[in-house]
């Protein structure tokens, strides 16, 4: 069997172009050399998302997105995290090999504490223990199946390091039971700017959603922030988020033409935004049709996810059993 590439996507927002370029596409490309295991991380989402209907909807949106963007459920093992009952058990076992200090220093938790301190609040105000435990749950996700590589964005690097720490601590105690995974950091994630020029991210509300209705998608592209230069003014293409986005969707020849317009004068932002919107719609034309069909067909999505969960559970059982045995629980 091929080595395993595993990654999870948290269903906390509608899939956008940054997700596609930074996560979906690289993960799908990896399938050539790896067995893909891709899942919807709904247990992780629960640390922040406490609206049941929204969580449920977003799980379906993410599942439909994977399938629409080309994931073949006969090739990849594709599932929903909460369909794996071994995960909470494994999380607990892993937590007993996780130094608490490591969790204190995990970015998401530490940022929340720092924010409270800044506001002169109790350091842990409003922070649930799930957020604190987030890295342990993620380590369990990765270690349960003996994952070889974990393709993630730079923002997840620390989580991979924590995972490796946990696996090494376990193995130091009991011998070589767990596979210590490698992160496959997708540096390019950082380079997909949102419509305001910051990294494209749901938390900045600056995304271009892939599957929004055409009108909405176009409107969002028209909102891309540019400076106030007139069309005839020369502009620096390498310091412009509209150009940075065009780079991902225009053909090399067209991109070169646009670059010349920027440098020599003649690039009209409004026109180029319209062109970008059309390029995006064209690029995702098939996927958008597929998505619209899939999202109407929740029974099918449920079925695909459950079949995937069965395969994932079969992959995880030997590791759970080995861990139970090693620790004396079995
Ligand atoms: N924490 C990841 C994110 O926010 C999602 C995730 C959960 C994940 N479990 C994982 C990613 C396991 C890789 C492997 O993006």
Ligand 1 pocket test, pick from 156, 157, 161, 185 with the greatest ligand atom count within 8 Å of Cβ, gives 156
Q: Is the dihedral of CA 39, 216, 273, 292 positive or negative?
A: positive
Q: From ligand 1's centre to the CA of 139, what distance in Å?
A: 9
Q: Which residue has the tokens 């005839």?
A: 232
- Give yes or no for residue 326 having a pLDDT over 90: yes
Q: Which residue has the tokens 């910051």?
A: 198
Please answer whether residues 89 and 138 qualify as being in contact, where contact means their C-beta atoms are separated by less than 8 angstroms. no
Which residues are near ligand 1 (CB < 6 Å)?
A: 6-8, 10, 41, 44, 138, 141-142, 150, 152, 156, 159
- Give yes or no for residue 189 having a pLDDT over 80: no
Please answer whether residues 154 and 123 qualify as being in contact, where contact means their C-beta atoms are separated by less than 8 angstroms. no
| pLDDT confidence bin for 39, thresholds 50/70/90 | very high
Q: From ligand 1's centre to the CA of 194, what distance in Å?
A: 21
> What is the rounded average pLDDT of the residues 51-63?
98
pLDDT in tens, 211-244: 999 999 999 999 999 999 999 999 999 999 999 9
Query: Cα–Cα–Cα angle for 327, 174, 91, nearest 5°?
Result: 50
CA 327: distance to chain centroid?
33
Q: What domains lie within the chain, and their CATH numbers?
A: 4-192+295-327 (3.40.50.620), 212-283 (1.10.240.10)
**Taking the CA atoms of the chain, what radius of gyration do you get in angstroms?**
22
Query: DSSP alpha helices (H): ranges in the chain?
Result: 17-19, 25-30, 42-45, 52-68, 86-95, 100-104, 107-118, 129-143, 157-174, 214-222, 241-249, 252-264, 269-283, 285-295, 298-327
Task: Kindly give the number of the ligand 1 atom that is closest to the alpha carbon of 153.
Answer: 15
What pLDDT is attached to residue 222?
97
| pLDDT confidence bin for 190, thresholds 50/70/90 | low
| pLDDT confidence bin for 188, thresholds 50/70/90 | low
Please answer whether residues 24 and 107 qualify as being in contact, where contact means their C-beta atoms are separated by less than 8 angstroms. no
Q: H/E element holding 151? A: strand 149-153
**Percent of the chain having pLDDT more than 90?**
95
pLDDT in tens, 93-105: 999 999 999 999 9
């Amino acid at each position: 069997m091929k080595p395993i590439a595993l990654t999870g996507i948290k269903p906390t927002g509608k899939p956008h172009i940054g997700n596609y370029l930074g996560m979906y596409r690289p993960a799908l490309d990896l399938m050539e050399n790896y067995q893909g295991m891709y899942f919807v991380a709904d247990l992780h989402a629960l640390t922040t998302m406490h609206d049941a209907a929204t969580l449920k909807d977003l799980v379906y949106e993410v599942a439909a997105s994977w399938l629409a963007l080309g994931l073949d459920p006969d090739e990849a093992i594709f599932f929903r995290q909460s369909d794996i009952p071994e995960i909470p058990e494994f999380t607990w076992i892993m937590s007993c090999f996780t130094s608490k200090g490591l969790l204190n220093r995990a970015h998401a938790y530490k940022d929340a504490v720092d924010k409270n301190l800044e506001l002169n609040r109790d350091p842990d105000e409003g922070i649930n223990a799930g957020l604190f435990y987030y890295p342990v749950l993620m380590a369990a996700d990765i270690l349960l199946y003996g994952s070889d590589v974990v393709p993630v964005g730079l923002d997840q690097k620390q989580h991979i390091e924590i995972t490796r720490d946990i696996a090494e601590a376990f193995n130091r105690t009991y011998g070589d039971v767990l596979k210590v995974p490698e992160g496959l950091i997708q540096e390019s994630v950082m380079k997909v700017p949102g419509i305001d020029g910051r990294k494209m991210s749901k938390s900045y509300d600056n995304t271009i959603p892939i599957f929004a209705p055409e009108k909405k998608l176009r409107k969002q592209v028209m909102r891309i922030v540019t400076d106030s230069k007139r069309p005839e003014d020369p502009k620096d293409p390498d310091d412009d988020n509209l150009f940075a986005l065009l780079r991902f969707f225009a053909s090399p020849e067209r991109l070169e033409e646009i670059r010349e317009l920027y440098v020599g004068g003649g690039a009209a932002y409004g026109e180029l935004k319209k062109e970008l919107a059309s390029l995006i719609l064209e690029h995702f034309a098939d996927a958008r049709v597929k998505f619209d069909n899939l999202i109407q067909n929740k029974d099918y999505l449920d079925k695909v996810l459950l079949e995937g969960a069965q395969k994932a559970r079969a992959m995880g059982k030997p590791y759970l059993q080995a861990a139970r045995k090693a620790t004396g629980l079995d």
